[in-house]
Amino acid sequence: MSGWESYYKAEGDEEEEEEESPDVGGEYKYSGRDSLIFLVDVSRPMFESQGENELTPFDMSIQCIESVYTSKIISSDRDFLGVVFYGTKKDKNSVNFKNIYVLQELDNPGAKRVLELDQFKGQQGQNHFQDLIGHGCDYSLSEVLWVCANLFSDVQVKMSHKRIMLFTNDDDPHGSDSAKASRARTKASDLRDTGIFLDLMHLKKHGGFDISLFYRDIISVEEDADLGVHFEESSRLEDLLRKVRAKETRKRVLSRLKFKLDRDTALTVGIYNLVQKASKPPPVRLYRETNEPVKTKTRTFNVNTGSLLLPSDTKRSQIYGNRKIVLEKEETEQLKRFDEPGLVLIGFKPLALLKKHHYLRPSLFMYPEESLVNGSSTLFSALLIKCLEKEVIALCRYTPRKSTPPYFVALVPQEEELDDQKIQVTPPGFQLVFLPYADDKRNVPAPEKVMANPEQIDKMKAIVQKLRFKYRSDSFENPVLQQHFRNLEALALDLMEPEQAVDLTLPKVEAMHKRLGSLVDEFKDLVYPPDYNPEGKATKRKQDGESSGSKRPNVELSKEELKVHATKGTLGKLTVPMLKEACRVCGLRGGLKKQELVDALTQHFLKD
Amino acid sequence: MARSGKAAVVLCMDVSFAMSNSFPGEESPFEQAKKVMTMFVQRQVFAESKDEIALVLFGTDSTDNALAVGDQYQNITVHRHLKLPDFDLLEDIDSRIQLGSQQADCILFWLGKKFEKRHIEVFTDLSSPFSKDQLDIIIHNVKKNSISLQFFLPFPIGKKDGTGDRGDGNLHLSDHGPSFLQKGVTEQQKEGIQIVKKMMLSLEGVNGLDEIYSFSESLRQLCIFKKIERHSMPWPCQLTIGSNLSIKIVAYKSILQEKVKKTWIVVDARTLKKEDIQKETVYCLNDDDETEVSKEDTIQGFRYGSDIIPFSKVDEEQMKYKSEGKCFSVLGFCRSSQVQRKFYMGNQVLKVFPAHDDEAATVALSSLIHALDELDMVAIVRYAYDRRANPQVGVAFPFIKDAYECLVYVQLPFMEDLRQYMFSSLKNNKKYTPTEAQLNAVDAFIESMSLIKKDEEEDTIKDLFPTTKIPNPEFQRLFQCLLHRALHPQEPLPPIQQHILNMLDPPTEVTAKSQIPLSKIKTLFPLTEAIKRKDQVTAQDIFQDNHEEGPTVKKHKTEEGEAHFSVSSLAEGSVTKVSRAFPVSSHQLINHIEQFLDTNETPYFMKSLDCIKAFRDEAIKFSEEQCFNSFLKSLREKVEVKQLNHFWEIVVQDGITLITNDEASGSSVTAEEAKKFLAPKEKPDEDSAAVLEEGGDVDDLSLVPKKKTKTKKNIKLTITIIIVSIVFISIIVSLLYDGFTRPSCVKK
């Protein structure tokens, strides 16, 4: 497939190529960019810490913003971020309003910006703030919002989502000035109309933060009206972080599909991915002299005439049973077509029949989509309630796109869950679990069963109990990614030495050792014979004797021999080094995979 | 690995004259045997199996085998020696195997010794005399070489009776072969059956008779292409708990999304050679001239947010995260409920066994498996395949079966992989809360569509739809098409086979049961398609797209003779150039007409009739009669499908018919044809029905007239038809300028 995928890249429109949704490995991409402005109240109360060792609200906000920056760099570096302070002494903004300081305009998050934010952290950071900007006394929230709106409109790129996060611990900023308050309300509603969302990240305040005093009319309510989720005010950094995290990414639908109960009864659902592998971004090629990025063009041409080839000048072929079978490119697409995109209900099965070890690829999430078929939500909700109650799953045939063959999926009902901060941790809906086909299952040779005796099992139970911990899905960072970005950061900021990322995936050997004490030795005594060494190499390799002499097997074969193999179709019997050598002798570029080598040779010999 | 599992298969086919005996209306055993062999070989070819296949014919006129000495082994031809199967063999089976006029007298086989498994498949009708005296020798030889033997006969044989007792009582023909019962089996065949039975029983023991198949049952089993078999490589490692406790393990991939082994090779369209095509990648600067630079002059960089940071491969290699090599280390244990299935990541499932032939390791791992099982806990593990691989964190949970026990490992997400989205609560929203009646309807519906069958007596549950037993239809379809193309290079691809489609659909008994509860759901849950502004502008949208698409399509079109670019895309691109104003307005018109009709109410019928009339007049004025005619034709189709016959009656009454060549010179419709068009139709035009079917909505439309997206598709269909016809007009017109008409291009 790689052959013609790259072909299409040559057509130029890279953006479009990227947005082509899921590839087979379960990775998805979206169009448009998100933008987010952090709007921070920097008036004096924000710098007053609530307790002895507690962070000031301002410090918390800054740390929080910095963490969003770094995570954005990893997860979605195309998004725009900006930081605005209000209630400042100095001012810096395009319309020269007082007491508003635009620290960072909307742009991609980058190393310098992170560094700039870093300077505002801690006690030193507060001093730095005083020197650089200073507290002001007066501000108008309507002007503040105006500045933010300008920032959004200054961006030339198409934005898919605009959001402001307001950090403050003042629940009634214009308590004495009703004119200002009403202007702020008007401005806030203007923003709403232009599609800008405003979220309040309210921080702890003596006597509690009362949203009803002022902010209730200012903040936007989610598009899906009654979110039913109201945050508590945050007094700890972790709480604030989680709140910000929850809001920071806009939920994006992968596709809107019909869920057909039968041929003509359908509701519409949105499909979302709640887990997606974050991977190292692909490298960019730069021109050595100037470090500017270069464009990559791939083109296909005819070797004999040198003329460029259009897609229509090529066909696709595969070789089976020594025969070259040729199809048009369209036909290779066409044969993958089975259903119209959508989900087709097959029936229901007890949840218990869904086997834990039948896992194929990351599951997706399904939520009703009222915008296409009215009444979808009610039917969806009824199905969800009943599936939960009866503990059944719905089995469906899932076709995400037109030219994608179907896979069977189990719809597993999932009930909504909130945590103690009333933040939704599990949304209501169905998980879409992919089920393997017969081809995806492999037979593995299982060794003979020898069961441990109860005494041995009990000893292991004691070990297991000692090493108990609470697993959270977000407790492990990807050490490879983290190190990669630390390295980049170090290079970007001209640091001498990159910060070493802590590898959380390594076992805490010493702590474990301490906890286990003598249990390990006791278990070993019960299970292992005295002279047994579990670390030792497995039984000596049988071939040891002969392999030393013939370490490098004779990889050369005469052309005649090869030809015999090719005509008999037995090239596959040869080893990869032999095939490589054969390709080299015949002057072929075979590729790396065995199949490619075999194909190349077969073609070469059959052609003669 | 290289040799394991490889088998040699000898297909022995009886081509003696008796094989051609058949009963009226039935295929001869000869033809049937050929079919079974073809299917068997096809499967082998596409499974890329390393098994080698030989073909031996017996009962041939000539003799060609290495053992033919004197009058021994006469009339046996080795048609093909052991070789990997290929299409030549398939074609040979299809066309080169001829019936012989002789009778076969003996079968004996020889095989090379390098195969691990040896099979002999015999296709015969047993009507030739066998030399009984050598039977014991044959059995002895076959046994000694541990060859497995399978017989394929034109009729099923009884499997109930044992050996020994001779005579008719033994010949228990089962119910599968009524035709044979009637027509009887010759004495010779009866005797043959005895011999075969004796052979099989002495070779394979009591189950020997199971290795005798009838042609028809094998055909049924072979119609599905073999599932792709992959063997997993063992991955030996040590499971470590802390610094001091390790268990020798070996892991295998047990589930991995299987891909087609071969990729499409790009070949030149004319020569069909891969070598004629070369691809190159060039780098150029982002300046106006797009100055090319050589690859050596470029370096690698990475984005860090807005910055691009030059970072050479060497530096990257040196600074990157260094793994400590392969490992399977327990980080800790947690309650199994804390690891939710929705967080499973990665693309594989591993089964972790103790090292082979290591009892100490087996017992140690067994204690862990059972400890976890009894505590309802799982292990969180760091897994790294090797030094170069990125480490993962995953879960290992116990898996205990009667025959074996193991740990099953699945990857879990890193913090960076999670996306926390919030969705509004469905519970607290009064608007979407279902009523009691609605809930009951859903309850009944779920009951009716249950895919399990409970056996009360045995207290077992039978799964009526085990998805893991279904072969991936993608491969089935691919092989079907490849096979078809290989054997019939000039024909278009065949449609999807019915047995594949059936395999993907719910069992009919389940759908039948669900009909009543489903209709209840339909009445209790009003589902109406939201009418969005977007729908109204569909037509324009399409045209806008086409406008942009225009140049590219044109580009393809310039390549002459490449007619394979889909007609519709070609048509869509050009239409904007032909006539922009008319189609747009006509589409809106058609759009409206469709919407009116969907209401299925008489006042709207009158309105749509007005629209149609107006459309007709306009079409004549703008010489777009084809456009109207195809619209009217498709309308008639739709009316039939949707059973809006009373509407059509009005159309007939008002005499609105196709635009004839009297009214507009561009039309090819004669007055006669136009009249006929309105006459009641016996059978729907098959071609256009097929077109509709491709839209996949025929049935939908007939059942629910109120759906709008469905009609949208049909509108699109209509539009396509119209566009296509317009393009054809333009083609014809342009050709007319040359004084030359070529209607054949229309068909293309």
Name the pLDDT band for B600 (thresholds 50, 70, 90): low
Please tell me the distance from the alpha carbon of residue B248 to that of residue A536, in angstroms, as a whole number: 9
Read off the pLDDT of residues B484-536 as tens digits, 9 standing for 90 and up.
888 888 889 999 988 888 889 988 888 888 999 999 999 999 888 876 544 43
Pairwise CB contact (< 8 Å): B474 & A112: no
Please identify which residue in the block is written with the tokens 């052609």. A607
pLDDT at site B252: 94
SS3 B318: helix
Query: For residue B574, is pLDDT > 50?
Result: no
CA-CA distance, B406 to A449, in Å (whole number)? 9
What are the tens digits of pLDDT across the range B677-731? 777 654 434 343 333 333 333 333 333 333 333 444 455 555 555 555 555 555 5
A530 shares contact with chain B (CB less than 8 Å): no
B229: Cβ contacts below 8 Å, ≥ 6 apart: A443, B47
Residue B485 to chain A, least CA–CA distance (Å): 7
Residue B737 near chain A (CB below 8 Å): no
Work out the average pLDDT over B458-482: 86
A492: chain B residues, CB-CB within 8 Å: 304, 307, 309
Amino acid A17: pLDDT:
31
Region(s) of chain B under CATH 2.40.290.10: 327-417
Q: Hey, is the C-beta of A18 within 8 angstroms of any chain B C-beta?
A: no
Which pLDDT belongs to residue B184? 53
> A429 to chain B: which residues are within 8 Å by CB?
423, 426
Please give, rounded to a whole number of angstroms, the shortest distance from the CA of B81 to a CA of chain A.
10
pLDDT at B329: 94
Q: Do B699 and A110 lie within an 8 Å CB cutoff?
A: no
Express as a percent the part of chain B with pLDDT over 90: 16
State the pLDDT confidence band at A607, using cuts at 50, 70 and 90. Answer: low
Task: Pick the range with the lowest mean pLDDT from A560-574, B235-249, B388-402.
Answer: A560-574
Establish if A70 touches chain B: CB-CB under 8 angstroms: no
Beta-carbon-side half-sphere exposure of residue B630 (alpha carbons within 13 Å): 21
CB contact under 8 A, A395 and B451: yes
Of B83, B481, B522, the CB nearest to A335: B481
Q: Please indicate whether, in this complex, the C-beta atoms of A315 and B256 are within 8 angstroms of each other.
A: no
Calpha distance A318→B265 (Å, rounded) = 6
pLDDT greater than 50 at residue A435: yes
Strand partners, A161: A34
For B298, which residue in chain A has the nearest alpha carbon? A287
Q: Determine the distance in angstroms separating the CA of A97 from the nearest CA of chain B, rounded to an integer.
A: 28
- Please give, rounded to a whole number of angstroms, the shortest distance from the CA of A474 to a CA of chain B: 4
Chain A CA closest to residue B364: A527
- Residues 717-736 on B with a CB inside 8 Å of A are none
B-chain CB neighbours of A1 within 8 Å are 263-264
Average pLDDT over chain B, rounded to whole? 71
* Residue B436 backbone dihedrals phi, psi, to 5 degrees: -60, -45
Report, as an integer, the average pLDDT of A589-593: 66
**A29 touching B, CB under 8 A?**
no
**From A29, A349, A386, A508, active-site residue:** A29
Q: Which of residues 132-171 of A touch B (CB under 8 A)?
A: none
- CA A214 to chain B, closest CA, distance in angstroms equals 24
| Whether the Cβ atoms of residue B44 and residue B51 lie closer than 8 Å to each other | yes
> Long-range contacts: B616-620, Cβ < 8 Å, 24+?
B616/B656, B616/B659, B618/B582, B618/B585, B618/B586, B619/B586, B619/B659, B619/B664, B620/B659, B620/B663, B620/B664
Could you give the CA distance from residue B344 to residue B351 in angstroms, rounded to a whole number?
15
* Mean pLDDT across B429-451: 90
- The answer to whether the Cβ–Cβ distance between B342 and A374 falls below 8 Å is no
* Average confidence (pLDDT) over A486-496: 81
The pLDDT mean for chain A works out to 80
pLDDT of residue A452 exceeding 80: yes
The predicted pLDDT at position B443 comes to 94
Cβ of A349 within 8 Å of Cβ of B452? The answer is yes
Sign of CA dihedral B321, B324, B327, B333: negative
Given this structure, which CATH class describes domain A33-248? alpha beta
What average pLDDT score do residues B202-221 get?
A: 66
Measure in Å the smallest separation between the Cα of B160 and chain A Cα atoms. Answer: 33
> Which residue type is seen at A118?
D
Q: Where are the domains of chain A?
A: 33-248, 253-277+340-440, 454-527, 559-607
Report angle CA B366, B370, B372 to the nearest 5 degrees. Answer: 120
- Which of the four pLDDT bands, split at 50, 70 and 90, describes residue A547? very low
Which of B255, B265, B315, B508 best probes binding to A when mutated, by most A CB atoms within 10 angstroms?
A: B265
Active site residue A29: yes
Tell me how far apart the alpha carbons of residues B236 and B248 are, in angstroms, rounded to a whole number: 8
CB contact under 8 A, A303 and B278: yes
DSSP β-bridge partners for residue B247: B239
Rounded Cα distance, B570 and A326, in Å: 23
Of residues B58 and A387, more confidently modeled: A387
In CATH terms, B7-160+177-228 corresponds, of 3.40.50.410, 3.30.420.40, 3.10.20.30, 2.60.120.920, to 3.40.50.410
pTM of the model: 0.68
SS3 of residue B336 by DSSP = helix
Considering the domain A559-607, what is its CATH architecture?
A: Orthogonal Bundle (1.10)
pLDDT at residue A434 tops 80: yes
Domain with CATH 1.25.40.240 in chain B: 582-674
Hey, are the CB atoms on A276 and B417 less than 8 Å from each other? yes
pLDDT in tens, A31-54: 567 888 999 988 888 888 777 677
- Give the side-chain half-sphere CA count within 13 A for A350: 8
Residues 292-351 of A with CB under 8 A from B: 292-304, 309-328, 330-332, 334-336, 338-340, 345-350
First to last CA, chain A: 27
Distance from CA of B498 to the nearest CA of A (A): 12
In this predicted structure, the answer to whether residue A543 has a pLDDT above a threshold of 50 is no
Q: Quick one: fold of B327-417?
A: Ku70; Chain: A; Domain 2 (2.40.290)
What average pLDDT does the segment A576-597 reach?
72
Q: CA nearest B90 in A: which residue?
A: A321
CB-defined contacts A:B, below 8 A: 721
Which CATH number is A454-527 given? 1.10.1600.10
Nearest CA in chain A to B324: A506
Contacts of B275 in chain A (CB under 8 A): 303
Q: How far is A364 from chain B (nearest CA, A)?
A: 8
Question: What ipTM did this prediction achieve?
Answer: 0.75
- Confidence at residue B731, expressed as pLDDT on a 0 to 100 scale: 52
* Residue B638 Cα, gap to closest chain A Cα (Å): 17
* Cα A119 to the center of its chain, rounded Å: 29
Q: Are B120 and B12 in contact (CB under 8 A)?
A: yes
Neighbours of B573 (CB within 10 A): 25
Cβ A299–B279 below 8 Å, yes or no?
yes
Domain B582-674 of CATH type 3.40.50.300 = no
Q: Do A534 and B247 touch (CB under 8 A)?
A: yes
pLDDT classification of A429: cutoffs 50, 70, 90: very high
The pLDDT tens digits for B333-356 are: 999 999 999 999 999 999 999 998
Chain B residue with the nearest C-alpha to that of A243: B420
Contact A440 B86 (CB under 8 A): no
Query: Is the pLDDT assigned to residue A407 strictly greater than 50?
Result: yes
For residue B6, the model assigns a pLDDT of 67
Chain A contact for B26 (CB, 8 A cutoff):
no
Using the predicted structure, report yes or no on whether residue A222 has a pLDDT greater than 60: no
pLDDT at B313: 85
Q: Which two tokens stand for residue A288?
A: 């050595």
Say if residues A482 and A454 touch (Cβ distance below 8 Å).
no
Using a CB-CB distance cutoff of 8 angstroms, which residues of chain A are in contact with residue B704? 264-265
Query: Are the Cβ atoms of A468 and B332 closer than 8 angstroms?
Result: yes
A68 close contact with B: CB closer than 8 A: no
SS3 letters across A142-209:
HHHHHHHHHHHHHCCCCEEEEEEEEEECCCCCCCCCHHHHHHHHHHHHHHHHCCEEEEEEEECCCCCC
Between A79 and B547, the higher pLDDT residue: A79
pLDDT at B362: 93
Q: Which residues, 6 or more positions from A308, have their beta carbon under 8 angstroms from its beta carbon?
A: A299, A300, A301, A302
| Of the ranges A298-302, A530-534, B254-258, B272-276, the best mean pLDDT one | B254-258
The answer to whether the Cβ–Cβ distance between B299 and A246 falls below 8 Å is no
Q: A253-277+340-440, which class in CATH?
A: mainly beta
Chain A residue with the nearest C-alpha to that of B380:
A471
**B365: amino acid identity, one letter:** L
For residue A318, list chain B residues with Cβ-Cβ distance below 8 A.
262-265, 482
Lowest average pLDDT, out of A562-571, B109-118, B188-197, B287-296, goes to B109-118
Higher-pLDDT residue of B194 and B385 is B385
Average pLDDT over residues A334-345: 91
From B229, B273, B344, residue closest to A363, measured CB to CB: B344
Contact A456, B365 (CB under 8 A): no
- Helices (DSSP H) in A14-121: which residue ranges? 14-19, 57-75, 111-118
What pLDDT does B690 receive?
36
* pLDDT-wise least confident of A532-541, B173-182, B314-323: B173-182
Quick one: DSSP state of residue A504? T
